[in-house]
């Protein structure tokens, strides 16, 4: 059956690309993906594939039943976009101002739709059951994974797999890791409350910009001097806003950032130490502060046997020229929740565009669309080998 699946997906590849480009041109933000969800639901209805809508929110679940008993495998793809203006000069650029598929979710969705279509075509020769999880709201906590799981997305599932089209990795490469693969992704917001005044008379003020700048420097010493160097963590300040005029010292400054960790104990240590540093820095300047720390997704922790199984299956895909276990990434993903409930693995499918590479979450983001075919074939091998 595997050869038939491969032949069919190759024949349908132009349609997969067309679907991906349609989705890329019509992105929607997390928790607002009504039209995208309706498109996915209509795709399945047209093919006669049983599906359930509004799963945990805007999620869609489709099920392909094989003709004989076997394991039930869940495959997951996310479909939300990001609040970024698409700056690419391509026919399929986003038509929704300020919203863009800048992380490959359009490709994830198109891949899974056509994997499901081909499996449905060959269901009379399929063993077991395939559950296609189309997840909303991956980009912003609390995300869509947890609510979909609570609404039954993993009921009866034996294994769960997912992939991310990864532009940092060359086309033809499959990467994963046993155990820690992607980090816990937290967010914090700090408001420093000083005393505003004239820019020419700073002695009459409590300058929140100076205090905030000092905190930015001090908090990095938490990683270099307070934390075991054999442990891994990242603290990044992504936003620092204060004032509206060049000659006025503002009263307040707002800093926003992210913390990435793999260990819950280290996560709690960083939270406590960050507030100590913030408190001490503000105290030395007689300033007040507000500290809002929001825990995000837990780390993606692959099951070792399933991670190894992914690479074994990927080696059978002709287009795959390299398979490797890699060090964990400090990016985050709510696929972590699926792996907390069922054995499985998450992996990267190389999708780098060599002549115009840009990172994820960038206004010019794009990927090598051939990677969708590699991901689809890897899924087929996973399915076939699981029930062989």
- Cα–Cα distance measured from residue 165 to residue 186, given in angstroms and rounded to the nearest whole number: 23
Cβ burial, residue 82 (10 Å; 0-12/13-18/19+): buried
Q: How far is CA 58 from CA 34, 38, 51, 108, in A?
A: 7, 9, 13, 16
Active-site residue set: 80, 138
Nearest-angstrom CA–CA distance, 138 and 145: 7
8 Å CB contact between 41 and 134:
no
Residue 56: name the closest of 141, 145, 147, 134 by CA.
Answer: 147
Element (H, E) at 330: none
Gap between the Cα atoms of 158 and 282, Å rounded: 52
* Rounded Cα distance, 340 and 345, in Å: 11
| Number of neighbours of residue 309 by Cβ within 10 angstroms | 21
């Amino acid at each position: 059956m595997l050869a038939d699946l491969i032949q069919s997906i190759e024949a349908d590849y132009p349609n997969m690309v067309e679907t991906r480009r349609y989705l890329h041109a019509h992105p929607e933000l997390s928790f607002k993906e009504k039209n995208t969800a309706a498109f996915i639901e209509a795709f399945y209805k047209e093919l006669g594939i049983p599906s359930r809508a509004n799963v945990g929110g805007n999620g869609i679940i489709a099920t392909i039943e094989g003709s004989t008993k076997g394991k039930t495998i869940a495959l997951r793809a996310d479909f939300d976009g990001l609040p970024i203006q698409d700056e690419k000069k391509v026919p399929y650029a986003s038509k929704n101002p300020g919203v863009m598929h800048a992380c490959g979710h359009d490709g994830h969705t198109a891949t899974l739709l056509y994997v499901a279509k081909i499996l449905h075509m060959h269901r009379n020769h399929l063993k077991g059951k395939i559950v296609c999880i189309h997840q909303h709201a991956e980009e912003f906590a609390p995300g869509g994974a947890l609510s979909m799981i609570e609404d039954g997305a993993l009921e009866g599932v034996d294994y769960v797999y997912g992939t991310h089209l990864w532009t940092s990795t060359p086309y033809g490469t499959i990467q994963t890791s046993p155990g820690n693969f992607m980090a816990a992704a937290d967010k914090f917001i700090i408001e420093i409350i000083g005393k505003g005044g004239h820019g020419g008379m700073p002695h009459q003020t409590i300058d929140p910009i100076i205090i905030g700048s000092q905190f930015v420097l001090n908090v990095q010493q938490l990683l270099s001097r307070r934390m075991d160097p054999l442990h891994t963590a990242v603290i990044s300040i992504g936003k620092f806003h204060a004032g509206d005029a060049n000659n006025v010292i503002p009263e307040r400054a707002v800093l926003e950032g992210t913390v990435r960790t793999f260990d819950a104990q280290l996560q709690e240590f960083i939270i406590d130490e960050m507030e100590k540093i913030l408190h001490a820095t503000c105290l030395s300047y007689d300033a007040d502060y507000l500290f809002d720390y929001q825990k995000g997704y837990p780390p993606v922790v692959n099951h070792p046997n399933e991670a190894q199984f992914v690479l074994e299956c990927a080696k059978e895909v002709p287009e795959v020229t390299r398979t490797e276990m890699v060090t964990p990434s400090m990016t985050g993903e709510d696929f972590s929740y699926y792996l907390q409930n069922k054995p499985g693995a998450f992996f990267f499918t190389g999708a780098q565009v060599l002549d115009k590479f840009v990172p994820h979450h960038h206004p010019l983001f794009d990927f090598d669309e051939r990677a969708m075919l590699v991901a689809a074939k890897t899924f087929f091998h996973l399915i076939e080998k699981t029930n062989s």
